[in-house]
Structure 1
Amino acid sequence: MKPSLRTFLIIAVFVLGSFPFAAFAGSNVFDVDHEFYPYYPSLIKWNKSNAQFTPPEVCNGCHSDKYNEWTGSVHALAFQDPVYQGELNKAIKAVGHNISRQCEGCHSPAGVITGEIKKAGIAGLSPMALAGVSCDICHSISGTTHWQTPAHEPENGSFILTPGVQTEEGLQLIKRGPFTPSDGCGMGFHKCVESSLHLQADLCASCHQVYHYDSHFPLEATYLEWKHGPYAQKEILCQDCHMVDIRTFMRTADEFRKPGRKEYRHFFNGANYLIYHLAEGAARKAGDEKKADILKEKYEMAVKRLQSAADLEISPVYRGGKLVEVKIKVKNVRAGHNLPTSLTNVRQMWLEIAAKDEKGNVFMTSGTTDAQGHLPENVRVLNSDGMGDDFHFAIDPWVVTAFSRHDTIPARGYKEVYYALSAPQGNNKIILEARLRYRQADQGVAEALLSAVPESINLKDIYGLTKVPELPVVDMVVKQASFSTVQ
């Protein structure tokens, strides 16, 4: 006799009922193995040995060209950046130093795993800790733990550092790179090892995916933006755009053609022109004109990169034969990730428009900053709004656990913005000028961060600043169009 459906249900209820449902109900979405990640919330792993990290000045002895490219880069300035230090200082005061290791792990990996960094500031630290993301950090990465992270995605420095190993012959420094080593590579100082990881975007993913220290919400998702877009499909990697000059970047982005081996440089250039701007002022104040000139070049490179990343299309919208709106299509034409990216709730990319009548008189504006550099309300800003656990607006990275608005533009994508227009009576034509503008942060946010720098960073002594300056704004695109008020 076959058992009935009722019998199966009774057995199922009995068997399932014998399992501890509380174990399922109580399981965490983001489990953390603190033994596996001893520097948590930084997810760095260190294959510890007697091998010391090599300061970049030592690398300069044999690799002066690469050292000069790296000098003044965002990697070189990652830890000493006063904006970062202000944010770090605020975070430590708000949630404690242990939590802040999430930030420090990517801004100074050597300083975190050796235990040097115990607070915000630059006082008393070794050159290696101050060097931020130096030569030996990237070239000591032997693997990643992206699959083992709490989010099971790259996040918060999920890489493995192996600067050297202990062998029967003694200590052996090992440096990894993307190509087959040439004869005599390392000149006896270190061993050279070919690393396929250094030819992958996964190398960059560890630090260009910044997640909330506890909720693991992606505050920055640059890697995933790239991975889910057309550049990943065409096998154009982070290195192909950010380790080349501007001309090569534009060719790569336009044609989806990888650079030649000799075209790669250690610039690591992106949109963060503010860090170069501040560092140039510090170099000139210190009397180091050579370094200041290098920083000025990197600033100009970052600005040109921004100015080549986007485009605008302006078109009229008619109803009943009359002009009622203007549509502006904001296009991401060359960034391989969203535009903007990184801390999108802090970055500002917005439209500023001015409409003029036939005589050139302005009758409508939007998006113009005031005398103090602040944006007015009701401006079309293409970025994100963060919110905390209470679903209220938040901007601090240690508070933001979700986005309430996310208006960034994906690679090769666009956003359309509409403006209602009512032309003055008697006008047959209007002229519209549109600017796509960008800056690192809201003026008020910058003032708060630079006012919070630790005591060891004296803005006047180091940078020559007696007050927080108005942040520089880059005009990414400027377009004009004219059209009839009637169809």
Structure 2
Amino acid sequence: MKHPYAKVAAAIAGVLALAATSVAAPAVFNVDREFYPFYPSLIKWNKSPAEFTPPADCGGCHEKQFREWNGSVHQLAFLDPVYQGELNKAVKAVGHEVTRQCEGCHSAAGMVTGEIKGSGLAGLSPMALGGVSCDICHSISDTTHWQTPSHEPENGSMILSPGLSGKGGTDLVKRGPWKPSADCGGGFHKCEESSLHQQADLCASCHQVYHYDAHFPLEATYLEWKHGPYAQKSILCQDCHMVDTATFKRTADEFRKPERGEYHHYFNGANYLLYYLAGAAAERTGDRELVASLKEKYQMAVEHLKSAAALEMTPVYRAGQLSELKVRVKNIRAGHNLPTSLTNVRQMWLEITAKDEKGKVVLASGAVQKDGTLPENTRIFNSDGMGKDFHFAVDPWVVTAFSRHDTIPPHGYKDVFYGMNGAKGAKKVTVEVKLRYRQADQKVAEALLAAVPKDMNLKEIYGLEKVPQLPVVDMTMERQTFQVRK
């Protein structure tokens, strides 16, 4: 006969065995540090005697492409004072080993060669300062998207192969989307046709930014595209961001790919703030050609934003009385969500004003306040980040989840309802609604620009005595008049 406590002992043993099994279970995000020697950057570098080529050298033969790239967000990726402020804060908070993740995409050559050792620009070569330069994109030979800890593109999961070594020596090899001509490279480098350069996977490496340890997607632009209608129609990142504004609109509206001659090295999107700051710097140096280029790129970015969304207003009546106003915000042209990228910093919001027939304001929301901040009742489309303790967080090295994620998918919409009780007693109301956008919350931008490294003097470079109110773009606007009694 078994001891009366035998069953209890067996049950306890089973629980302990289960606990031991759970402790020994493999991690959700396994990291092969031999495979990824620059971790948390997931770049791989096929190192050889072939050196990276500075962008000015490329411009000697590819003048048109160099002129388009110069002043682009790719060229400015490492020079961006907002990025440098964030990088400087991150180095102090979590150390340079972690911030290599950021450097891997903002200056891949500078990171893999070990030239960049933290924030700041002093003493760096033109190659490191060149950010996402010609030789970075055209040296990509493959990706490791499937091997990453998340098994998705993240944090620069690309392979850089600027050249190949063989018995005959070392050759520079540059890759592009088209079959090369017989004289391609002019004897300076060899040319290879690359199917990768005709895919969105090329862009995915750096436009999927995950937390360095928790592998939470802080930026998921590629996945937003991949899970939407533009991917289904084979419209890629390049088809909207490497073309002029008219071609972008046609591509987005008709799902028709651009012709070969319509592609340019603009890499234009919504980051007009970077063009705005760079334009101020170019003015101070007297580079008239660059000033003109940046003004053009600034306008292109603004036009991208103004083309991306649409508004609809619908009155809601109850018992014959205007009760609510429904505002529908539609993403009509962006191949990814609106907004995208670092959505816990970006701000896209509604500003609404309703007046009765006498001009009295009966509803107001979303107007920028004197200090540049938005009122608490503003209807805003972005995300709220939180850290491991589930408390609100902004810094990307802290954010491991979103407590609120409110963005609009491609060809999707969000409805917002505004109560109209203030209109009682009026005969009609005229409503004006604007969809507005800026790169960041005013206070966040002030904090980042205040944190730039010492060798980036904002007054000397940009003429900034203090951080001004961030420029705001009105993406679209609607005005309608409604009867209060139906």
Q: CA RMSD in A?
A: 1.7
Secondary structure of the equivalent of 1:304? helix
Tell me if structure 1 keeps the 8 A contact 2:383–2:404.
yes
Contact 1:423 1:430 in 2 (8 A): no
Q: CA deviation at 1:218?
A: 0.1
Task: Show the counterpart of 1:22.
Answer: 21
The 3-state SS of whatever aligns with 1:324 is strand
2:313 aligns to what SS in structure 1? strand
Rounded Cα–Cα distance in structure 2 between residues aligned with 1:160 and 1:215: 23
Shift of the alpha carbon at 1:128?
0.1
Residue in 2 aligned with 1:407? 406
Cα distance in 1 between the residues matched to 2:63 and 2:22 = 57
How many angstroms apart in 2 are the aligned matches of 1:67 and 1:206?
23
Q: How far apart are the structure 1 equivalents of 2:18 and 2:282?
A: 66
Tell me if 1:375 matches 2:381.
no
1:377-405 CA-to-partner distances (Å, cap 9, x unmatched) read 12100000000001111111000000000
- Equivalent residue, structure 2, for 1:397: 396
CA distance in 1, matches of 2:485, 2:48: 76
1:24: how far off?
A: 6.7
Q: Deviations along 1:246-287, whole A, 9 cap, x unmatched?
A: 000000000000000000000000000000000000000111
Given that residues 29 and 150 in structure 2 are in contact (C-alpha distance below 8 angstroms), is that contact kept between their aligned partners in structure 1?
A: yes
| CA distance in structure 2 between the aligned counterparts of 1:20 and 1:404, rounded to whole angstroms | 30
Structure-to-structure mapping, 1:40-189, within 5 angstroms: 40-189=39-188
Residue 283 of structure 2: aligned partner = 284
Name the amino acid aligned to 1:178.
P
Shift of 1:26: 3.5
More deviation in 23-32 or 324-333?
23-32
Counterpart position of 2:237:
238
Q: 1:362 to 1:114 in 2, by over 3 A?
A: same
CA distance in 2, matches of 1:428, 1:315: 17
Question: 3-state DSSP class of the match of 2:380?
Answer: coil
Q: Distance in 2 between matches of 1:353 and 1:360?
A: 15
Aligned residues: 474
> Alpha-carbon deviations, 1:271-317, whole Å to 9, x = none?
00000000000000111121111111100100000000000000100
Deviations 1:134-186 (A, max 9, x none): 00000000000000000000000000000001122111000000000011000
Pairwise CA distance, 1:425: 4.8
In the alignment, the residues of structure 2 paired with residue 309 and residue 330 of structure 1 have an alpha-carbon distance, to the nearest angstrom, of 11
Q: Which amino acid aligns with 2:473?
A: V
User: Does the 8 Å CA contact 1:423/1:485 hold for their aligned counterparts?
Assistant: no
1:265-304 map, 5 Å: 265-304=264-303
Aligned partner of 1:33 in structure 2 is 32
- Give the TM-score normalised by structure 1: 0.95
Amino acid at match of 1:266: H
Structure 2 SS opposite 1:412:
coil
1:450 equivalent in structure 2 = 449
Structure 2 counterpart of 1:485: 484
- 1:219 aligned residue: 218
Query: Residue 428 in 1 paired to residue 427 in 2?
Result: yes
* Structure-2 separation of matches of 1:379 and 1:304: 24
User: TM-score, with normalisation over the residues of structure 2?
Assistant: 0.95
State the Cα deviation string for residues 444-473 of structure 1 (Å, max 9, x = none). Answer: 000000000000101011111110111000
**Aligned position for 1:254:** 253
Native 8 Å contact 1:357 1:423 kept in 2: no
Structure 1 segments of 4+ aligned residues over 6 angstroms from their partners: 17-20
CA distance in 2, matches of 1:95, 1:436: 37
Alpha-carbon contact 1:367-1:379 (below 8 Å) kept: yes
Contact 2:241 2:248 survives alignment (8 Å): yes
SS in 2 for 1:381: strand
SS at structure 1 position matched to 2:421: coil
